[in-house]
Protein backbone atom coordinates (compact mmCIF):
# COMPACT_ATOMS: atom_id res chain seq x y z
CA UNK A 1 0.00 0.00 0.00
CA UNK A 2 1.28 3.44 -0.85
CA UNK A 3 0.30 6.90 0.33
CA UNK A 4 0.31 8.03 -3.29
CA UNK A 5 -2.34 5.52 -4.38
CA UNK A 6 -5.96 5.88 -3.27
CA UNK A 7 -7.12 3.51 -0.52
CA UNK A 8 -8.40 0.13 -1.68
CA UNK A 9 -11.59 0.61 0.36
CA UNK A 10 -13.14 3.88 -0.78
CA UNK A 11 -15.34 4.13 2.34
CA UNK A 12 -12.44 3.93 4.81
CA UNK A 13 -14.44 5.65 7.59
CA UNK A 14 -16.80 2.67 7.74
CA UNK A 15 -13.97 0.34 8.76
CA UNK A 16 -13.93 -0.71 12.44
CA UNK A 17 -11.53 1.16 14.73
CA UNK A 18 -8.57 -0.93 15.85
CA UNK A 19 -7.76 -1.44 19.59
CA UNK A 20 -4.56 0.59 19.24
CA UNK A 21 -6.48 3.52 17.78
CA UNK A 22 -9.01 3.34 20.63
CA UNK A 23 -6.11 3.39 23.11
CA UNK A 24 -4.66 6.55 21.54
CA UNK A 25 -8.08 8.22 21.41
CA UNK A 26 -8.51 7.42 25.12
CA UNK A 27 -5.03 8.72 26.01
CA UNK A 28 -5.64 11.96 24.06
CA UNK A 29 -9.03 12.47 25.74
CA UNK A 30 -7.67 11.85 29.26
CA UNK A 31 -4.71 14.18 28.62
CA UNK A 32 -7.08 16.86 27.29
CA UNK A 33 -9.21 16.61 30.46
CA UNK A 34 -6.11 16.84 32.68
CA UNK A 35 -4.96 20.00 30.85
CA UNK A 36 -8.46 21.50 31.08
CA UNK A 37 -8.55 20.99 34.86
CA UNK A 38 -4.98 22.32 35.20
CA UNK A 39 -5.91 25.54 33.35
CA UNK A 40 -8.70 26.20 35.82
CA UNK A 41 -6.48 25.29 38.79
CA UNK A 42 -3.64 27.60 37.67
CA UNK A 43 -6.03 30.44 36.96
CA UNK A 44 -7.41 30.26 40.51
CA UNK A 45 -4.34 29.17 42.54
CA UNK A 46 -1.36 29.85 40.27
CA UNK A 47 -0.84 33.50 41.31
CA UNK A 48 0.16 34.32 37.73
CA UNK A 49 -2.60 36.77 36.92
CA UNK A 50 -1.73 40.43 37.31
CA UNK A 51 -3.85 42.54 39.56
CA UNK A 52 -4.67 45.24 37.05
CA UNK A 53 -7.53 47.58 36.36
CA UNK A 54 -8.63 49.41 33.21
CA UNK A 55 -10.62 52.60 32.86
CA UNK A 56 -12.04 54.37 29.83
CA UNK A 57 -10.21 57.62 29.04
CA UNK A 58 -9.14 59.76 26.11
CA UNK A 59 -5.56 60.26 24.95
CA UNK A 60 -5.83 63.97 25.77
CA UNK A 61 -7.01 63.36 29.37
CA UNK A 62 -4.33 60.74 30.03
CA UNK A 63 -1.59 62.89 28.46
CA UNK A 64 -2.58 65.81 30.71
CA UNK A 65 -2.33 63.64 33.85
CA UNK A 66 0.97 62.16 32.70
CA UNK A 67 2.52 65.54 31.81
CA UNK A 68 1.52 66.94 35.22
CA UNK A 69 3.10 63.90 36.91
CA UNK A 70 6.27 64.30 34.83
CA UNK A 71 6.55 68.06 35.48
CA UNK A 72 6.24 67.56 39.25
CA UNK A 73 8.64 64.60 39.63
CA UNK A 74 11.41 64.86 37.01
CA UNK A 75 14.88 64.47 38.53
CA UNK A 76 17.05 64.47 35.35
CA UNK A 77 17.00 63.83 31.60
CA UNK A 78 18.68 60.99 29.74
CA UNK A 79 19.39 59.75 26.22
CA UNK A 80 19.94 61.84 23.13
CA UNK A 81 16.18 62.49 23.02
CA UNK A 82 16.22 64.15 26.46
CA UNK A 83 13.67 61.74 27.96
CA UNK A 84 12.89 62.71 31.58
CA UNK A 85 13.72 60.31 34.41
CA UNK A 86 10.92 60.54 36.95
CA UNK A 87 11.23 59.48 40.60
CA UNK A 88 7.85 58.09 41.57
CA UNK A 89 6.50 59.86 44.70
CA UNK A 90 5.60 58.27 48.02
CA UNK A 91 1.99 57.53 47.03
CA UNK A 92 3.33 55.13 44.40
CA UNK A 93 1.30 56.42 41.42
CA UNK A 94 3.23 56.64 38.13
CA UNK A 95 2.17 57.42 34.57
CA UNK A 96 3.73 55.88 31.47
CA UNK A 97 2.80 56.91 27.94
CA UNK A 98 3.11 54.63 24.92
CA UNK A 99 3.34 56.39 21.57
CA UNK A 100 5.08 55.89 18.26
CA UNK A 101 7.87 54.56 18.98
CA UNK A 102 8.64 55.47 22.53
CA UNK A 103 7.83 54.77 26.17
CA UNK A 104 7.70 58.08 28.01
CA UNK A 105 9.10 58.82 30.64
CA UNK A 106 11.77 56.64 32.28
CA UNK A 107 10.61 55.65 35.78
CA UNK A 108 12.76 55.35 38.90
CA UNK A 109 11.30 53.09 41.62
CA UNK A 110 12.48 51.85 45.02
CA UNK A 111 12.90 48.18 45.85
CA UNK A 112 10.23 46.76 48.17
CA UNK A 113 7.63 49.51 47.73
CA UNK A 114 4.29 48.95 46.00
CA UNK A 115 3.50 51.03 42.92
CA UNK A 116 0.55 51.59 40.64
CA UNK A 117 1.74 52.15 37.09
CA UNK A 118 -0.86 53.83 34.86
CA UNK A 119 -0.40 52.98 31.17
CA UNK A 120 -2.12 54.28 28.07
CA UNK A 121 -1.41 54.60 24.38
CA UNK A 122 -1.70 57.84 22.46
CA UNK A 123 -2.05 56.30 19.02
CA UNK A 124 -2.02 52.52 18.32
CA UNK A 125 -2.07 49.27 20.28
CA UNK A 126 1.24 48.69 22.01
CA UNK A 127 2.49 45.84 24.16
CA UNK A 128 4.00 46.54 27.59
CA UNK A 129 6.50 43.76 28.25
CA UNK A 130 8.69 44.30 31.31
CA UNK A 131 11.85 42.23 30.98
CA UNK A 132 13.21 40.04 32.52
CA UNK A 133 10.20 39.67 34.87
CA UNK A 134 7.80 38.88 32.01
CA UNK A 135 4.90 41.20 32.80
CA UNK A 136 2.85 41.53 29.63
CA UNK A 137 -0.06 43.93 29.08
CA UNK A 138 -1.67 45.05 25.86
CA UNK A 139 -1.92 48.85 26.01
CA UNK A 140 -4.91 50.10 24.04
CA UNK A 141 -5.72 53.71 23.13
CA UNK A 142 -8.74 55.04 24.99
CA UNK A 143 -8.06 52.95 28.10
CA UNK A 144 -5.99 53.61 31.20
CA UNK A 145 -4.47 50.37 32.44
CA UNK A 146 -3.35 50.30 36.07
CA UNK A 147 -0.78 47.66 37.00
CA UNK A 148 0.21 47.07 40.63
CA UNK A 149 3.80 45.97 41.12
CA UNK A 150 6.33 45.67 43.92
CA UNK A 151 9.95 45.48 42.71
CA UNK A 152 11.89 42.75 44.54
CA UNK A 153 15.34 43.37 43.06
CA UNK A 154 17.42 46.38 42.07
CA UNK A 155 18.60 47.05 38.56
CA UNK A 156 17.61 48.36 35.18
CA UNK A 157 14.57 46.75 33.61
CA UNK A 158 13.69 47.02 29.93
CA UNK A 159 10.24 47.82 28.62
CA UNK A 160 9.72 46.26 25.21
CA UNK A 161 6.77 46.82 22.88
CA UNK A 162 5.62 43.33 21.90
CA UNK A 163 2.66 44.42 19.76
CA UNK A 164 3.65 45.41 16.21
CA UNK A 165 3.06 49.16 15.95
CA UNK A 166 4.64 50.16 12.68
CA UNK A 167 7.99 50.70 11.00
CA UNK A 168 9.78 51.89 14.17
CA UNK A 169 8.45 49.05 16.37
CA UNK A 170 11.90 47.49 16.77
CA UNK A 171 13.20 50.66 18.43
CA UNK A 172 10.35 51.09 20.94
CA UNK A 173 12.23 50.46 24.17
CA UNK A 174 11.84 52.01 27.59
CA UNK A 175 13.42 51.67 31.01
CA UNK A 176 12.53 51.36 34.65
CA UNK A 177 15.28 51.84 37.23
CA UNK A 178 14.89 50.15 40.61
CA UNK A 179 17.16 51.41 43.40
Note whether 25 and 79 are same-domain residues.
no
Indicate the pairing of strand 155-160 with strand 126-131.
antiparallel
Instruction: Please state the rounded mean pLDDT for residues 26-39.
Output: 96
Note whether 102 and 173 are same-domain residues.
yes
Local confidence band at 2 (pLDDT 50, 70, 90 cut-offs): low
Helical H segments across the chain, by residue range: 19-45, 59-73
Which of 71, 77, 113, 120 is CA-nearest to residue 95?
A: 120
Q: Phi and psi dihedrals of 42, rounded to 5?
A: -70, -30
**Which pLDDT tens digit goes with each residue over 106-120?**
999 999 898 999 999
Local confidence band at 36 (pLDDT 50, 70, 90 cut-offs): very high
Q: Judge whether 127 lies within some domain.
A: yes
Q: Is the pLDDT of residue 11 over 80?
A: no
Distance between CA atoms of residues 27 and 20, nearest Å: 11
Q: Is the pLDDT of residue 48 over 70?
A: no
Task: Specify the 3-state DSSP secondary structure of 64.
Answer: helix
Note whether 40 and 89 are same-domain residues.
no
**Which pLDDT tens digit goes with each residue over 112-161?**
898 999 999 999 999 898 888 878 888 989 999 998 888 889 999 999 99
Q: Judge whether 28 lies within some domain.
A: yes
Amino acid sequence: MSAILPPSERLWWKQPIDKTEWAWIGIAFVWGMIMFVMMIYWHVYGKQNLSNEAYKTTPEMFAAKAEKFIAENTIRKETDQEIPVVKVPANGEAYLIARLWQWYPILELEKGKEYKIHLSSMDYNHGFSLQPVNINIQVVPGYEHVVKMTPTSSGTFAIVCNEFCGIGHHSMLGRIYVK
